[in-house]
Chains A and B, each alone.
Chain A
Amino acid sequence: MTEEPFEPVKEKEASFDAKTPVTGQTKMQAAWSANPDDDSGAQIASAPQGQIFEQVYQPWNGELNPRWMRNWTILRHHILGIFKKGHRPWNLVTKLFVFFVIIASLTDVAMVVLFGVLGDSYFYDLWGVNRNNLYGHVLGFFPRNILYYPILAALLVGGIISEDRTHGTSAIYFSRPINRFDYASMKFLSVAMLLLLVINGTLILYYLSEILVKGRGWAWIIDTFPMFLGAFLSGIILSFTYTSIGLSLSSISRGKFFPAIGLIAILMGTKAVASIIDRLFENSILYVISPFDSVCHISQELLGIESTYNHPWAWSLASVVLVNGLALYLLANRVSSMEVTRE
Chain B
Amino acid sequence: MDRELIIESSALTKMYGPHLALDSLDIRIEKGATGLLGPNGAGKSTFLKTILGLIQVTSGEGSVLGYDIRTQGEQIRQRIGYMPEYDALNPNMEAIYQVKYCGELIGMNPNVALQRAHQALEYVGLGEQRYREVSTFSTGMKQATKLACALIHDPELIIADEPSNGLDAKSREFMLNTLNITVQSGERSVLMASHLMEDVERLCDNIVLLHKGRLAAQGKIEDLKAIDKEVEIHVWGAASKMEESLKDSGLKVRREGRVMRIGHTGDETYSQILKSAAEVGSQVRKMHDYEASLEDLFLVIMERLGHDVKSSDELLEGSI
Interface residues of A (CB under 8 A from B): 53, 55-62, 64-66, 69-70, 73-74, 77, 85-89, 163, 167-169, 171-179, 340-343
**Per-residue interface assignment for chain B, residues 178 to 189, with 1 indicating a CB less than 8 Å from any chain A CB and 0 otherwise:** 100110011010
A25 to B105: give the CA distance in the assembly, Å.
55
A167 to B49: give the CA distance in the assembly, Å.
19
Contacting A at CB under 8 A, from B165-203, are 177-178, 181-182, 185-186, 188
Given contacts A56-B123, A342-B86, 12 further A-B contacts (CB under 8 A): A55-B125, A55-B181, A64-B78, A70-B105, A73-B105, A86-B97, A89-B90, A168-B87, A171-B82, A341-B45, A341-B48, A341-B49
Contact A169 B90 (CB under 8 A): yes
A297 to B61: give the CA distance in the assembly, Å.
55
Q: Which 5 A-B pairs have the closest CB atoms?
A: A57-B186, A64-B107, A175-B82, A60-B154, A89-B92
Of chain B, the residue at the smallest CB distance from A90 is B92
Contact A62 B97 (CB under 8 A): no
Known A-B contacts A87-B97, A168-B88; A55 and B105 likewise in contact (beta carbons under 8 Å): no
Specify which chain A residues have a CB less than 8 angstroms from the CB of B109 in the assembled complex. Answer: 62, 65
CB of B30 closer than 8 Å to a CB of A: no
A55 to B116: give the CA distance in the assembly, Å.
15
Specify which chain B residues have a CB less than 8 angstroms from the CB of A86 in the assembled complex. Answer: 94, 97, 100
Contact A53 B125 (CB under 8 A): yes
CB of B74 closer than 8 Å to a CB of A: yes
**B49 CB contact (under 8 Å) in A65, A70, A172, A340:** A340
**A176 CB contact (under 8 Å) in B106, B154, B177, B182:** B106
A86 to B52: give the CA distance in the assembly, Å.
29
**Per-residue interface assignment for chain B, residues 148 to 162, with 1 indicating a CB less than 8 Å from any chain A CB and 0 otherwise:** 010001100000010
Of chain B, the residue at the smallest CB distance from A73 is B104
Q: How large is the interface on B (under 10, 10 to 19, 20 to 34, 35 or more residues)?
A: 35 or more
Contact A66 B92 (CB under 8 A): no
**Per-residue interface assignment for chain B, residues 27 to 57, with 1 indicating a CB less than 8 Å from any chain A CB and 0 otherwise:** 0000000000000000001001100101000
CB of B119 closer than 8 Å to a CB of A: yes
Contact B88 A171 (CB under 8 A): yes
**Per-residue interface assignment for chain B, residues 82 to 115, with 1 indicating a CB less than 8 Å from any chain A CB and 0 otherwise:** 1011111111111001001110111111101000
Specify which chain B residues have a CB less than 8 angstroms from the CB of A168 in the assembled complex. Answer: 84, 86-89
Contact A58 B119 (CB under 8 A): yes
A238 to B255: give the CA distance in the assembly, Å.
77
CB of B225 closer than 8 Å to a CB of A: no
* Residue of A65, A88, A177 with most partner-chain B CB within 10 A: A177
Contact A167 B91 (CB under 8 A): yes
Contact B105 A176 (CB under 8 A): yes
Q: How far is the CB of B191 from chain A (nearest CB, A)?
A: 13
CB of B77 closer than 8 Å to a CB of A: yes
Specify which chain A residues have a CB less than 8 angstroms from the CB of B107 in the assembled complex. Answer: 64-66, 69-70, 177
Contact B90 A167 (CB under 8 A): yes
Interface residues of B (CB under 8 A from A): 45, 48-49, 52, 54, 73-75, 77-78, 82, 84-94, 97, 100-102, 104-110, 112, 116, 119, 123, 125, 127, 149, 153-154, 161, 177-178, 181-182, 185-186, 188
Contact A342 B78 (CB under 8 A): no
Contact A172 B77 (CB under 8 A): no
Q: How far is the CB of B16 from chain A (nearest CB, A)?
A: 13
A172 to B146: give the CA distance in the assembly, Å.
9
Q: How far is the CB of B85 from chain A (nearest CB, A)?
A: 7
A173 to B82: give the CA distance in the assembly, Å.
11
Specify which chain B residues have a CB less than 8 angstroms from the CB of A85 in the assembled complex. Answer: 97
A282 to B285: give the CA distance in the assembly, Å.
103
A64 to B74: give the CA distance in the assembly, Å.
12
Specify which chain A residues have a CB less than 8 angstroms from the CB of B97 in the assembled complex. Answer: 85-87
Contact A59 B154 (CB under 8 A): yes
Q: How far is the CB of B82 from chain A (nearest CB, A)?
A: 4
Contact A340 B123 (CB under 8 A): no
**A341 CB contact (under 8 Å) in B75, B87, B161:** B161
Contact B92 A172 (CB under 8 A): no
Q: How far is the CB of B232 from chain A (nearest CB, A)?
A: 31
Q: Pull 25 A–B residue pairs with CB atoms less than 8 Å apart, ordered by A.
A: A53-B127, A55-B178, A55-B181, A57-B188, A58-B154, A59-B186, A60-B153, A62-B112, A65-B107, A69-B107, A70-B104, A74-B105, A86-B100, A89-B90, A89-B92, A89-B93, A169-B90, A172-B102, A172-B149, A173-B105, A175-B52, A177-B106, A340-B54, A340-B84, A341-B49
A193 to B125: give the CA distance in the assembly, Å.
39
Q: How far is the CB of B128 from chain A (nearest CB, A)?
A: 10
Q: How far is the CB of A69 from chain B (nearest CB, A)?
A: 6
Q: How far is the CB of A183 from chain B (nearest CB, A)?
A: 10
A59 to B89: give the CA distance in the assembly, Å.
24
**A56 CB contact (under 8 Å) in B110, B112, B185:** B185
* Residue of B52, B108, B127, B181 with most partner-chain A CB within 10 A: B108
Specify which chain B residues have a CB less than 8 angstroms from the CB of A171 in the assembled complex. Answer: 82, 84, 86, 88
Contact B101 A73 (CB under 8 A): yes
Contact A57 B123 (CB under 8 A): yes
Specify which chain A residues have a CB less than 8 angstroms from the CB of B54 in the assembled complex. Answer: 174, 340
Specify which chain A residues have a CB less than 8 angstroms from the CB of B177 in the assembled complex. Answer: 55
Q: How far is the CB of A32 from chain B (nearest CB, A)?
A: 35
A89 to B97: give the CA distance in the assembly, Å.
10
A149 to B106: give the CA distance in the assembly, Å.
34
A191 to B216: give the CA distance in the assembly, Å.
48
A23 to B320: give the CA distance in the assembly, Å.
52
**A340 CB contact (under 8 Å) in B52, B154, B182:** B52
Contact B105 A172 (CB under 8 A): yes
Contact A176 B88 (CB under 8 A): no
